[in-house]
Amino acid sequence: MPVTITIPTPLRQFTGGQSEIQVEASTAGEALDQLTATHSELRRHLFNDQNTMRNFVNVYVNDEDIRHVSGPATPVKDGDTILIVPSIAGGSVAQVDDLRSEEATQVSNLRYDELPMLSNEEVARYSRHLIMPEVGMTGQRKLKASSVLMIGTGGLGAPVGMYLAAAGVGRMGLVDFDVVDASNLQRQIIHGTKDVGRPKIASARDRIQDINPHVEIETHETRLTSENALRLFVNYDVIVDGTDNFPTRYLVNDACVLTGKPNVYGSIFRFEGQASVFWAERGPCYRCLYPEPPPPGLVPSCAEGGVLGVLPGIIGAIQANETIKIILGAPDIMVNRLLLFDAWRMRFRELKLRKNPDCPVCGDNPTITELIDYEQFCGITQQTETKSTMEEITATQLKQRLDQGDDIQIIDVREPHEYEIGQIPNSKLIPLGQVLNRMNEIDPDRETVVHCKMGGRSAKAIDALQRSGFPGKLANLKGGITAWSDEVDPRVPKY
């Protein structure tokens, strides 16, 4: 019986959609060599030029991280499962030490006589908690004494906010700067149809207050930044990470480590989710797991890759559950553990996490002692520069040129199910993952415009073609088919 390698969703485009691949091997390294020998595009995503495993990819044999066993030499035997787990999408620093000691009192340790009383109305509301010995009057009063800061009121923030409010958390801080869009409603159930166009924070506040008027709500309509994060975090007991981008995720992690707060983590992509509690005082932080983010664009965002609507409901509910357990002082908090959930196959897996003694922020000799520029850390600035050197054409310009009879071939690098939603006339579909293998279908003697939904994947396709020596003239359609719908033909639906 061979060894099974599980391929995560973002990398399945390089395995022809396969989610599991079986190989014969005696070590983890051998198994990965075999895998990348048959799927060569994968190699670039898993290994760097020095042939070492990239930092944003972790490899597990069964539930053990191979970094903590023997690295690539970790033995495997027939029937073992190898998991590739990539990261998914997503103040005054001088006072940091003071902040940490000041906040040493944790709500779970408060004495009974230090806790706020419940009114008769609250007793009636929380009766199903009060009759459980694990919560009881003490636990419910701890919940009332507690405060939780939610970063984001989107897909994950929706169940987190609603369940924590219903459970009786005394004070909740909401951080968001976004506005409710019609495309949010498929999963962000804290917002309703009537809220489209409103600030998310106002919509979320109204819903939470309706669920439980006893909750004190503090709204912070701002983007979380290195300047405001520490000031915000010190005022709360628990931080819940409901973000959807890497710069904010690393910012939340580092600010939690610097202020000593537990970071209740959740992330989602298509139908796969991850959850954990990162709490540097008791276990690893997010950087122990993923020292570096993936290069920009490698892992698509939910706007690009999609997300099953119910998935954030499940992962967000798990985050709410862990938050309540932290407040109550429950024994088995999800520290030192990473939960992986596959909604499509309805499968939960759990991996062991360990603190990395060399972690730059929570390790023995931290090099990050204040918040940094996270956009730069995640390579976002760099990406903008690269993009600006690529030849671009706007939808309006493309239409004009086609109307005047210019010979232009249009390559659509989206997926077939997106092509079904709408197309630009006379475009040829070659999904991004197949672009290099099907390069011979693109005529280098004709001028070529490449497009996708928004312009990100087409830029990657052009970059890949140029690096592979494609000789023809390539231009990226700025804003993708979305811009085509806005500027040229509104009959093409936007999604």
Stretch that binds Zn ion, among 25-33, 137-145, 283-291, 393-401 (CB under 5 A): 283-291
Helices within 103-156 (DSSP H only): 120-125, 127-130, 136-145
To Zn ion, the closest distance from the beta carbon of 284 in angstroms equals 5
Q: Which of 240, 333, 359, 371 binds Zn ion (CB under 5 A)?
A: 359
Of 15 and 253, which has the nearer Cβ to Zn ion? 253
For residue 261 the two structure tokens come to 């707060």
| C-beta closer to Zn ion: residue 15 or 248 | 248
Q: Is 353 in the site for Zn ion (CB under 5 A)?
A: no
Measured from the CB atom, is 15 or 356 closer to Zn ion?
356
> What letter would DSSP give residue 409?
E
Q: Judged by CB under 5 A, which stretch of 64-72, 339-347, 356-364, 468-476 contacts Zn ion?
A: 356-364
CB nearer to Zn ion: pick between 35 and 285: 285
> Looking at 166-174, 219-227, 282-290, 372-380, which segment touches Zn ion (CB under 5 A)?
282-290
Nearest Cα residue to 319 out of 299, 331, 336, 333? 333
Compute the least distance from the CB of residue 372 to Zn ion, in Å. Answer: 15
Given a contact cutoff of 8 angstroms between Cβ atoms, the answer to whether 301 and 245 are in contact is yes
Which of 11, 130, 148, 362 is close enough to bind Zn ion by CB under 5 A? 362
Residue at shortest CB range from Zn ion: 359
383: which 2 tokens?
Answer: 């990406």
User: Does 45 interact with Zn ion (rule: CB under 5 A)?
Assistant: no
Smallest gap, in angstroms, from Cβ of residue 259 to Zn ion?
14
User: Is the Cβ of residue 154 or residue 363 nearer to Zn ion in the bound state?
Assistant: 363
Going by C-alpha positions, the residue among 89, 49, 87, 85 that lies closest to residue 67 is 85
32 vs 362 by CB, closer to Zn ion: 362
Cβ nearer to Zn ion, comparing 324 with 362: 362
Cβ 68 to Zn ion shortest distance, Å: 14
Judged by CB under 5 A, the stretch of 97-105, 127-135, 288-296, 404-412 that binds Zn ion is 288-296
Helix pair 200-211, 157-167: axis angle to 10 deg: 30
Q: How big is the CA angle at 140 (ends 134 and 143), to the nearest 5 degrees?
A: 110
Q: How far is the CB of 58 from Zn ion (least distance, A)?
A: 14
- Shortest reach from residue 251's CB to Zn ion, in Å: 14
Please pick, from the candidates 59, 149, 285, 454, the single residue that binds Zn ion as defined by CB under 5 A.
Answer: 285
Q: Which of 42, 288, 424, 481 binds Zn ion (CB under 5 A)?
A: 288
Minimum CB separation from Zn ion for residue 286, in Å?
Answer: 7
Of 129, 200, 207, 287, the one binding Zn ion by CB under 5 A: 287
Q: Which is nearer to Zn ion, 252 or 474 (CB)?
A: 252
Q: Is 289 in the site for Zn ion (CB under 5 A)?
A: no
Q: Which residue has the tokens 């010979």?
A: 407
Within 13 Å and on the Cβ side, how many CA atoms surround 327?
31
Q: Is 475 in the site for Zn ion (CB under 5 A)?
A: no
Size of the site for Zn ion (CB under 5 A): 5
Which position has the token pair 């989610």? Answer: 19
Of 373-412, binders to Zn ion (CB under 5 A) are: none
Annotate 150-203 with DSSP letters as a single string. Answer: EE--STTHHHHHHHHHHHT-SEEEEE---B--GGGTTT-TTS-GGGTTSBHHHH
Stretch that binds Zn ion, among 84-92, 277-285, 315-323, 454-462 (CB under 5 A): 277-285
Told to check if 320 binds Zn ion by CB under 5 A, we report no
| H/E run at residue 305 | helix 302-305
How far is 87 from 294, CA to CA, in rounded Å?
Answer: 7
Active site residues: 302, 452
- Which one of the spans 64-72, 104-112, 216-224, 362-370 is the region binding Zn ion (CB under 5 A)? 362-370
Sign of CA dihedral 371, 238, 178, 457: positive
Query: What is the Cα 315 distance to its own chain's centre?
Result: 12
Contacts of Zn ion in 254-273 (CB under 5 A) = none
Cβ neighbours around 417 below 10 Å, total = 8
Q: Which is nearer to Zn ion, 143 or 289 (CB)?
A: 289
Q: How far is CA 25 from CA 33, 70, 475, in A?
A: 9, 15, 44
Q: Strands 3-6 and 20-23: what pairing? A: antiparallel
Q: For residue 391, give the nearest of 307, 291, 477 by alpha carbon.
A: 477
404-to-443, 474, 475 alpha-carbon distances in Å: 21, 19, 18
Name the minimum Å distance from CB 42 to Zn ion: 28
DSSP tally for the chain: helices H, then strands E: 19, 18
Q: Which residue has the tokens 């939904």?
A: 453
- Residues engaged in binding Zn ion (CB under 5 A): 285, 287-288, 359, 362
